[in-house]
Structure 1
Amino acid sequence: MSSWSIISIAAVLSLLLTGALRKYALARSIIDIPNARSSHTVPTPRGGGVAIVVSFLLALPVLAITGSMDWPTMWAMLGAGSGIAILGFLDDHGHIAARWRLLGHFLASAWALYWLDGLPPITLFGIGLELTWFGDVLAVFYLVWMLNLYNFMDGIDGIASVEAICACLGACLLYWLGGFESLIVAPLVLAMAVAGFLYWNFPPARIFMGDAGSGFLGIILGLLALQAAWASPELLWGWLILLGVFIVDATVTLMRRLLRGDKVYEAHRSHAYQFASRHYGRHLTVTLGVAAINLFWLLPVAASVVLWNMDGALALIVAYVPLILLAIRFHAGELEKA
């Protein structure tokens, strides 16, 4: 089976499966009812992200068999991704205490790092660093934060899907131009699986992703970045830059809430993108704005690292400073005024 066949099947399967999941959610009353913490106003089915999970996970063994992915990476993504998706699915259909969810997140991340051989050597301001066991611990916390921040940022129509597609396609372009063609297929399959779901989730959304899909996307995107880092340290910086909108908004919001003494595990709607959606009165403006930032700002900065040898840490700072200012401009982490 060719790579293009796998990519096409993932997109079509995700599209059809999301439609089926929407019918299932409506029949079983698996509905997200708006409340004071919501950014939407219309009751909407949830759990459509399972289509992304199934489409991508089914493709993984095929990618390994055809040589488009090595087997250790396949086991890392299959084990960690399915574990996080199952945990999210159970939480979508009931409630799992935060401490048990967090334990599951750390176990899934540790599983993935075991198969990936930990964190590869990285370059920081031109200095090569081999962090050994400390780097592995750091990588586990990075994966846990990635999957949680993606869950936090999945709060308005289409935003999580658009971010994943932009990051994956941006990475594919950098792989192609930088001579890392062997890495292209996996993020392209993920992008197309998300695109099939986005057909149903584009503003105004007809189904939401749910925790199963958002947590899954977070950890898989994190793993794609670590996989790329083994090919070249610059690619890790490239991924961190491409994911900057979500990383900055979630991190600034978390830090400001921690400093205020909030219970950070409680639901809220104080992210910058949520304030922005209320300011503009619609989700579409913010979702398209995220796509524009990715295309016209973050992608060129990431390209400067991968293609033109700009220092990765310096480029990250250059990319993030305007995003931090933008997050503050839109009140990330502030209390919502009555």
Structure 2
Amino acid sequence: MSNVWWVPVIAGISFFLTKLLRHYALVQRLVDVPNARSSHVVPTPRGGGVAIVLAFLLAVALLFATGVISLGVFAAYIGAGGMIAVIGFMDDHGHIAARWRLLGHFAAASWGLFWLGGLPVITVSGFDFDLGWVGDILAVFYLVWMLNLYNFMDGIDGIASVEAICVCLGICLLYWISDMPELIWLPLFMAASVIGFLWWNFPPARIFMGDAGSGFLGGVLGLLSLHAAWTKPQMLWAWVILLGVFIVDATFTLLRRLFRGDKVYEAHRSHAYQFASRKVGSHKPVTLAVGMINLCWLFPVALLVSKFELDGLVGVVVAYAPLVFLAFKYRAGELEIDQG
């Protein structure tokens, strides 16, 4: 069977696994009860992101078995992704101290980066930079930040799922346009894995992703971006552009809270998307707006970078400028006062 026929199969597996996980969460009372730091108002089971993990790792195994990906690529995603998911699963079931979670995240990032071959050459303003071991260290921090920011941004119904689907399908189209079909399969299967879950997570959500799913998505998307840069350095910039909504909101919010002296590891609801959802009184318009920003703004800029030789750094600045404006407009990182 051609691998393309496995795309709807993987989506279906994710769908049915999410249904089973929802039943499991209800039986085990793994339910998020609304509190002062929540963006939801109805008790909702969590941990459904495990379905994304299992479906995608099954697809990775399939691609390896059919010779589409190498042993190193297989080991990177299975090892790093699996480690991140296990840490998140344990945290979903019982709190793990932040320092131990962070240690596990660095271990997973280092494992994945090792098997991918380290940080590839970075192209800036037409110049290639091989940063060596310094670049590898920076890449590990990038991966750890990616998996944590994705966890931070999974705060309203459907937003993390819609972001992952838009980014993955967008990059697949860029790969096809740029004559890089060999790279399409992994993000395509990731999109399929998330689509199966989204049916249960779209506003109003019947199950939440949980740390196992959100951290896994962030970590794997980070690995996919570095993986692509080994084939074409400009693709790293395309990934960073496509992930702009999450990168800008999470980074802007973290920096503002850090400068104010907040305990940044404590739960809060001061991201721009959270303020926006409270302003409009619903999660759905904000989640759909994220999808439209990806489709109508970030994808065209990423296309200019990946296909039409727009400098990557310039592309990031152009793409992020309105996102920074939105972060200001929707009070990213401000104190949670008069939020109603």
1:156 corresponds to: 156
2:240 corresponds to: 240
Q: Is the partner of 1:123 in helix, strand or coil?
A: strand
Amino acid at match of 2:137: V
Amino acid at match of 2:127: I
Amino acid at match of 2:24: Y
The 5 Å alignment of 1:216-227 reads 216-227=216-227
Q: Give, in whole Å, the separation in 2 of the partners of 1:184 and 1:58.
A: 16
Give 1:24 deviation, angstroms. 1.0
Give 1:67 deviation, angstroms. 2.3
The count of aligned residue pairs is 338
Q: Is the partner of 2:203 in helix, strand or coil?
A: coil
Report if the CA contact (8 A) 1:276-1:330 is conserved.
yes
Question: After the TM superposition, which of the residue ranges 58-67 and 138-147 deviates more from structure 2?
Answer: 58-67
2:133 corresponds to: 133
Give 1:15 deviation, angstroms. 0.2
Q: Give, in whole Å, the separation in 2 of the partners of 1:69 and 1:171.
A: 18
Give 1:5 deviation, angstroms. 2.5
Question: Does residue 270 of structure 2 align to residue 266 of structure 1?
Answer: no
Question: Does residue 290 of structure 2 align to residue 290 of structure 1?
Answer: yes
Question: Does residue 65 of structure 2 align to residue 44 of structure 1?
Answer: no
2:165 corresponds to: 165
Report if the CA contact (8 A) 1:39-1:274 is conserved.
yes
Amino acid at match of 2:225: A
2:55 corresponds to: 55
State the identity as a percent. 64
Amino acid at match of 2:35: N
1:300 corresponds to: 300
Which runs of 5 or more structure 2 residues have no equivalent in the other structure?
none
Q: Is the partner of 2:48 in helix, strand or coil?
A: coil
Give 1:64 deviation, angstroms. 1.2
Q: Is the partner of 1:128 in helix, strand or coil?
A: strand
Q: Is the partner of 1:146 in helix, strand or coil?
A: helix
Q: Is the partner of 2:234 in helix, strand or coil?
A: helix
TM-score norm. by structure 1 comes to 0.99
TM-score norm. by structure 2 comes to 0.98
2:186 corresponds to: 186
Amino acid at match of 1:100: W
The 5 Å alignment of 1:70-149 reads 70-149=70-149
Q: Is the partner of 2:128 in helix, strand or coil?
A: strand
Report if the CA contact (8 A) 1:121-1:233 is conserved.
yes
The one-character-per-residue Cα deviations of 1:24-56 (angstroms, maximum 9, x if unpaired) are 111111100000000000000000000000000
Give 1:196 deviation, angstroms. 0.2
Give 1:315 deviation, angstroms. 0.4
2:20 corresponds to: 20
Q: Give, in whole Å, the separation in 1 of the partners of 2:16 and 2:95.
A: 28
Question: Does residue 209 of structure 2 align to residue 209 of structure 1?
Answer: yes
The one-character-per-residue Cα deviations of 1:158-214 (angstroms, maximum 9, x if unpaired) are 000000000000000000001000000110000010000000000000000000000
Q: Give, in whole Å, the separation in 2 of the partners of 1:137 and 1:186.
A: 25
Q: Give, in whole Å, the separation in 1 of the partners of 2:129 and 2:270.
A: 37
Structure 1 residue ranges, 4+ long, deviating more than 6 angstroms after superposition: none
Give 1:322 deviation, angstroms. 0.8
Q: Give, in whole Å, the separation in 1 of the partners of 2:70 and 2:293.
A: 33
Give 1:58 deviation, angstroms. 1.3
Amino acid at match of 2:163: E
